[in-house]
Structure 1
Amino acid sequence: MSADIKGDNQPYDDINITPMLDLAYVLLVTFIILTTASVQGVKVNSPTTQAANNLAKPQTRAITITADGGVYLDAYPVDLEQLRSTLAQYKAANPALPVVLKADAAAQYEKVMQVLEVAKQLDITEIGLVTKRATGD
């Protein structure tokens, strides 16, 4: 009887990693299924309507002023007159037109004020100024 007890207390020669691999495969398959399901979405054939202009659309416009004084509207270079006419068209389509102004830190203050003056003349009140968050003190 002592020989049976001695045989049970011997150390293992190998480790069974099958349960760990099973868990790893289950997690991998779950991750793949969840990722592809969220990316693909559901495809539908949208109906057409004559009242498309009345539907809500995200129409935030971005005005960028570079360090050398260049003005861009949605990544397209414009002068102040083109900016005024284009923003007037957008404002006519959306009275609550939101605009964000992103100016280089080295841009001339006068150019920023000219762009803000154009927005004021067009009665654009939803204006956001883009800045970077300061790190540290």
Structure 2
Amino acid sequence: MAADVKGDNQLYDDINVTPMLDLAYVLLVVFIILTTASVQGVKVKEPVTTATKNLAKPQTRAITVTRDGSMFLDAYPVTLESLQEGLARYKAANPSLPVVIKGDADAQFEKIMAALDICKRLDITEVGLVTKRAQ
């Protein structure tokens, strides 16, 4: 009977960390999924305007021009030639392809005009400019 009492009050030499590791792995996976899901393109500072209209449509393609003049189609870096090829592919799949141009307020206007010119050559008529609503 003395042996039973000693067995119940025995100190543990180690701690079972398996449940804690399981929780850590689940939290890591959730963090990775949420982080990659929140990336929606290239961040730019939009110009401010008072007249805005919501141009969100399904299958809208975004052309982004950053401050340093880099161009992106959706979130992929492109040159003017590859931009035209990519838009031509999308236009072949969807004849009424909507496109928005998202240019940084400090971007080179020449690059934005080049993107507009490509849209005109490909007969893309639904083109919008992304701006920030004035307060």
Unmatched runs of 5 consecutive residues or more in structure 1: 1-56
Q: Secondary structure at the match of 1:88?
A: helix
The Cα shift of 1:134 comes to 1.1
Counting aligned pairs with the same residue, the percent is 68
Alignment-derived partner of residue 48 in structure 1: none
Q: Secondary structure at the match of 1:128?
A: strand
CA RMSD of aligned residues (A): 1.3
CA distance in 2, matches of 1:104, 1:131: 9
1:65 equivalenced with 2:65 (yes/no): yes
| Larger RCO (CA within 8 A; separation ≥ 6) | 2
Moved segments of 4+, more than 2 Å? none
Structure with bigger gyration radius: 1
Q: What are the residue-to-residue correspondences of 1:1-137 with 2, within 5 Å?
A: 58-135=58-135
The Cα shift of 1:58 comes to 2.9
Unmatched runs of 5 consecutive residues or more in structure 2: 1-56
What is the TM-score normalised by the length of structure 1?
A: 0.56
CA distance in 1, matches of 2:89, 2:58: 15
Q: How many residues align?
A: 79
